[in-house]
Every structure is written in structure tokens, then in C-alpha cells.
Structure 1
Amino acid sequence: MNRIYSENGTLLLGLQSENILSDNPVQFSEYTVLFISEGEGIYYADFASFPFKAPVVLFSTPQQSIYIRETKKLTCRALQFHGDFYCIEFHRKEVACNGLLFNNIYLEPSVNLTEEQHLLYKQIVKNLADELQQEEPSEIVLRAFLQLFLAKSSSIKMNSTERLELKKDEKMDQFKTLLEENFLTLHKPSDYASLLAITPNNLTKQCNNRFNKTPTQMIQERLILEAKKHLHLTRLSIKEIAFALKFQDEYYFSRVFKKMTKISPQTFRKTTGISIVADLSRE
């Protein structure tokens, strides 16, 4: 056994000793983590691509469109978990992975490992695999190992991010701030270029250098990220979410969401579930 399921058949936690991605985009209902010990390639996640070289850990959120193109053969373990098994929002203080490893359009969805860290991850993954092989795996033990994996990844990512922030890029820092403030109302790169007092071409060039994405990709990605948050973290209706995101109606919102994610808002909510955080916020 390398998986555990809920009573209704939902995959709660799974560990596979192979790369579950191919040259064709796939979407999973679970958080997906690829622990790559050997090889290199390009990781595609939604709108962007990220070159990588082992040892490295790659991350994706539920229903992201992801695939890998290998340039050197990979040795990979795939770890997947559902929000019903481990809620990253609820455990944010323990692991700080939400907005760092997952759900962040400004950071690469990867953690590069030193050889020492690589050995530690091998041991954590072995512990997970050993527990999953038990006749009755302990969910408490499995959550503890998963939490350790995510907490260690967050710590490494935080340290590497702090080093990156030492290299200041004033215009792109301003763009990030402006995007966070205006993504609901400003949807054209030219809007942000004007606010930054630079040309649209210059904005595109600087965005590609800093974030490995175009301004259009980032604007779209930020809007869809907010939609996913509302669908997963609240019990608002689709109509209420469309209104909150300033769409003219729920039908137009659904068309835009499906065009960009390949699934409807209703399907996204059904497959990822509604987080326990949605009910905590109402207490």
C-alpha cells in the first residue's frame, strides 16, 4: 500500500516511487510534491516554465495544469495529499508553506537542496513509505512526517528568498505592490506600465527577468489565485464570488475561470473541497 483513502474514496495521501508527470499537462485534485533526486528538465505550472536540476523539490496546488520535460532522466518520488488530510491554511503557523511553497505567483514553485538536505529528505520520504506499508497506517504519524517535510521545505525556501531580496529591483517591487492593490480592477499591462512610468515593452522585459513570466500572465494568475482562494476557503456562492471579484455576473466569471484553468468553478470546489478554515472564520 502506498496510498490512504477517505471513506468516500478520496485520495488523502499517496506516495509513488516514480514521476507521475509526462509531456502532457495533467491536473490533480491534491497538492502534489515531486522529490527529484537525479536528473534535470523544465517544470511547467499553469502559465510559466521553470528549469530545474536535482536535487530539488517541485510543488503544485490542486488543479494546477502541470507537466515536465526531462532533459536528463529523472529519479523521482511523488507525494500527494488532499486538503482534507492536511490543511495547509489551518497549519500555517507550523509549516508556513501557504504563500511560500504553494499559492504564490511571485516565487518559483521549487526548493533546491544541498546534498546534506537531500539525504534528510530521503529519510523523511522513507519514513513516510514505511508507515504507509503498515497494515494499518497511523494518520497521526503520517501527518507528522508530512508536516516535517513541508516545514523543512518552507525553512529552506524562506532562507533562499531572503537572499534573493537582497538584490533589490525597485520597479518590480513596485509592480508587485501595484498588482496586489489593483488586480481586481486593472487587467492590462499598459495600466501598470503607466503607473510605473515605463513602457509596456520595458515592463514585459523586466517581468520576464524577475518572475520568468509576462505581465499578462501575472495579472491573470493573480486573479485566478484569488478566485481559487474564495472557492476553497469560503462558503460563498459562485454568484457571490463573481461579485466579490468584480465580474459582471457568475456566468462570465465561470467562462473566464474555465478558460484559464480548464475546469469550472463548481468542479474546482467539488474536487478540492471546502477548507475547514471556511467554517472557522464564521465562528
Structure 2
Amino acid sequence: MEGILLYYSRDFYCVEINDSEVACHGILYNNVYEIPSITLNKEESFAIQSIFHNIQFETEHIDAANEEMLQLLLKQLIIKGTRIWKIKHNLNDNASNQELDFVRKFSQFVEQNFKTLHHISDYAEILFVTPKHLNKKITQFGYQAPKQIIMERIILEAKRLLAHSVLTVKEIGYSLGYDDDAYFVRIFTKYCGRSPLQFRKQYIALR
């Protein structure tokens, strides 16, 4: 399988003046539900490949306007990808866009606050809805319940720290907002089927 990896820094593209749908907090970013992906038809594939071809040309022919042109091409690529994603998810009317904005805001708030806010009521309060209404809005798109989304983000970060840091289990739990390390261990074990120490040992053994 062949592909193209396009790497760019936040400073290069993520500016506040970009439209919310295509900025760095847009549809294709900060998604706690899934890794956004799109399947292209022949026409869409040709359009995307054309943009990549132009990006490659700009990187190989340096002049004073390269940076500005690359930013424009990158934005064009993200706009095209966002449009395709919305079409494939039937999100082209205003009502659907408003619902999607709400879902995206919840995703952003979870990403920003999962270390300190663990309960659905916390996010419902931020979004000015009831916990029941929040649950309904998120699950209508086929996503897991907000409670599960929040917990899976916490567990993912715990796994990352267990695998890639030397922090103790107690320190990891504390960094994720759990003052009681025994409770953190119980939560982790419930969701992972093994304790934090068992997870770390198994990860080290597989390296």
C-alpha cells in the first residue's frame, strides 16, 4: 500500500482567522470519537491528487511566495476533505451543521478537560444542556455515550503514560485527576481487564 504523509506544524496553519470547520479545531481535528477518514471516488481522488501534486511542486521550487502558496494549498486540501466528509455523513443542511457543531464542541471540551472533568454532568453544564440531552445529541450520530467517551479518553492517556513514562501508577492517577490511587487502579482494571502494572509489564515485554 502506498500513500502520502503530509506533515505541518500548528504554527504553519492553525490561525484563528480560519473558518471553524477547517481550522485546527475543525471537523478533521480533535476528534475523540474516531480517526476521521474518507473514502474517495475516482473524481474526488483526482482532485485530491492534483492538490498534492501542486504542494510537491511548491516544495521543489523555492521562491519568496512558497510559504503563502503552501498555506493556501493546505487550506484547499482541508476544505476539500471537509466537504467530502460532510457529504458522506449527510451533513449539508443547516440543522445538521448545528448538530455537528455541538458534537465537535463536546469533543473539544473532552480533549481539553478530561484530566480534571470526569462526569457527563460537568460537560453538560459547560454546554448548557442537561446530561440526558447531551447523551441524546452525541449518540444520535452513532457514537458511544458521552460517559464512555470521557472514560476511554482518560484510559487512553493512562496507557500512554504507562507505556512511555517512568511515572508511578499513583502519579499517573493523580495527573489524571484521581487523588485515590486505589480507585484509579480499579477503574483502569475494569476497562482494560488488567491492572496498570500488568499493562506496563506486558508493554515492556513486547518492545
TM-score, normalised by the number of residues in structure 2: 0.54
| 1:139-192 Cα shifts (integer Å, max 9, x gaps) | xxxxxxxxxxxxxxxxxxxx8777335744111111111111221222221221
| Unpaired runs of at least 5, structure 2 | 8-30, 43-79, 92-96
Question: Which residue does the alignment assign to 1:163?
Answer: 84
**Equivalent residues, number:** 134
**Cα distance, 1:201 vs structure 2:** 2.1
**Cα distance, 1:218 vs structure 2:** 0.6
Question: Which residue does the alignment assign to 1:254?
Answer: 185
Preserved CA contact (<8 Å) 1:107 1:211: no
**Cα distance, 1:268 vs structure 2:** 0.9
Task: Give 1:227's aligned amino acid.
Answer: A
Task: Give 1:199's aligned amino acid.
Answer: T
Preserved CA contact (<8 Å) 2:118 2:150: yes
Preserved CA contact (<8 Å) 1:232 1:275: no
More helix by share: 2
- 1:199 to 1:250, Cα distance in 2 relative to 1, 3 A: closer
Question: Which residue does the alignment assign to 1:207?
Answer: 138
Question: Which residue does the alignment assign to 1:183?
Answer: 114
Matched, 1:220 2:127: no
Question: Which residue does the alignment assign to 2:173?
Answer: 242
- 1:270 to 1:185, Cα distance in 2 relative to 1, 3 A: same
**Cα distance, 1:203 vs structure 2:** 1.1
1:4-15 residue pairs with structure 2 within 5 A? none
Give 1 or 2 for the bigger CA radius of gyration.
Answer: 2
Question: Which residue does the alignment assign to 2:104?
Answer: 173
- 1:213 to 1:239, Cα distance in 2 relative to 1, 3 A: same
More strand by share: 1
**Separation of aligned partners in 1, 2:197 and 2:40:** 37
Question: Which residue does the alignment assign to 1:106?
Answer: 33
| 1:186-245 Cα shifts (integer Å, max 9, x gaps) | 222122112111222221111112352101111111111110111112121212212211
**Cα distance, 1:257 vs structure 2:** 0.4
**Cα distance, 1:274 vs structure 2:** 8.7
**Separation of aligned partners in 2, 1:94 and 1:275:** 27
Task: Give 2:153's aligned amino acid.
Answer: R
Task: Give 1:185's aligned amino acid.
Answer: T
- 1:112 to 1:265, Cα distance in 2 relative to 1, 3 A: farther
SS of the equivalent of 1:273 reads helix
SS of the equivalent of 1:198 reads coil
| 1:232-274 Cα shifts (integer Å, max 9, x gaps) | 1212121221221121133222111001111111111111229
Task: Give 2:129's aligned amino acid.
Answer: I
**Separation of aligned partners in 2, 1:109 and 1:270:** 31
Question: Which residue does the alignment assign to 1:7?
Answer: none
| 1:15-55 Cα shifts (integer Å, max 9, x gaps) | xxxxxxxxxxxxxxxxxxxxxxxxxxxxxxxxxxxxxxxxx
Task: Give 2:34's aligned amino acid.
Answer: L
**Separation of aligned partners in 2, 1:224 and 1:182:** 14
Preserved CA contact (<8 Å) 2:115 2:176: yes
| Unpaired runs of at least 5, structure 1 | 1-92, 97-103, 116-158, 277-283
The alignment-based identity, stated in percent, is: 37
- 1:252 to 1:274, Cα distance in 2 relative to 1, 3 A: farther
Q: 1:195 aligns with which of 122, 126, 129?
A: 126
Q: 2:199 aligns with which of 264, 268, 273?
A: 268
Task: Give 1:259's aligned amino acid.
Answer: K
Question: Which residue does the alignment assign to 1:229?
Answer: 160
